[in-house]
Amino acid sequence: MLPPVKTDAEWDAVVADETVMRPGVEDICARLGFAGAPLTRFPDGTQPVYAVGAEHVLKLFPSSAARDGVVEGRVLSHIQGQLPIPTPRVRDFGPYENGWQYVLMSRLPGENLARAWHSVPQDDRERLVTEIGAALAVLHSLDTEPLGDVLGPGDWGAFIDRQTDTATDRQRAHGLSQAWLEQIPAFLASVSLPRSPHRSLLHTEVMRAHLLVDPDGWRLTGLFDFEPAAIGDHAYDFVGVGLFVTGGDPALLTGLTTSYGRDFDPRVLLAYTLLHRYSNLPWYMRELPTPAEGTLDALAETWFGTR
């Protein structure tokens, strides 16, 4: 019932149209034993996501992103019950018509931490980031071998080379000013990144928007959205952490990395920021403190420095 989606134009035409999406969602639910269950679409997220009753969530991936659906199902199944922060329990995942993939998972309780952050007292923020650091340490310690057939990038050194070759052009496409653009090649050349790191299981987008919290005591109740998971250098995961969890606050980052068990060179983390698959430096600069000294070295210390 869902049409093929192979291009961005086809995606734009389909994803927002509930007259197209809803019949397919209802059909999938019926096949999975949830015929007639109340369906509520979540407003956030790249992929269509629906609450199925009060206890389940259905996430859909079109043919153009079908591999992401396989990744989400496999990774969530692999890590189930192993992290100190709850993750969704996979009830079923697999292919649907016209190349679509679905993942049916348990619904986690709590409020989105990004929306709740302004209400979280400072003491609780400090505790929450230490819990996130501890959870990341566990995630990065898990065996990656069972996921080697589905998670990239495979050759980490080759990934670094590809991202380095395109880093300046990608930031230019986002509107980064020439004064910053011209610093990127020399900065990246000056930072030593491992080409064959220990293979860690990475979430790659650990951020407040992907965490849930119970306001009654500010307890973490969930970490979700594992579709961009990868295998690689554990430092890569601290891009999202530094930008979107601790938000350029050196005290919070210190607490998080202390709980994790090690700290990181700020220049390494900024290098990975520039190389990240979803990097958008102008956006980060609008959201985070930017140093008066307009250099990438100063930016690294501002965003990823600890104390």
Q: Residue 255, class by beta-carbon neighbours within 10 Å (0-12 exposed, 13-18 middle, 19+ buried)?
A: buried
Query: Rounded to 5 degrees, what are φ and ψ at 289?
Result: -60, 140
pLDDT band of 6, cuts 50, 70, 90: confident
pLDDT band of 13, cuts 50, 70, 90: confident
CA distance 279 to 113: 22
Q: What is the pTM of this model?
A: 0.96
CA distance 109 to 297: 40
Q: Report pLDDT for 45.
A: 77
- Of 14-23, 118-127, 215-224, 241-250, least confident by mean pLDDT is 14-23
More confident residue, 290 or 1: 290
279 neighbors 171 (Cβ within 8 angstroms): yes
Helix axes 156-173, 266-275, angle to 10 degrees: 70
Q: Report pLDDT for 166.
A: 98
Q: For 108-139, write each residue's pLDDT tens digit.
A: 999 999 999 999 999 999 999 999 999 999 99
Chain Cα centroid distance, residue 192: 24
230 neighbors 153 (Cβ within 8 angstroms): yes
Distances (CA, A) of 171 to 166, 175, 194, 204, 289: 9, 7, 23, 19, 18
Distances (CA, A) of 157 to 18, 146, 164, 275, 280: 43, 21, 10, 12, 22
Q: Report pLDDT for 44.
A: 81
Counting every residue written for the chain, the total comes to: 307
Does residue 222 carry a pLDDT above 80?
Answer: yes
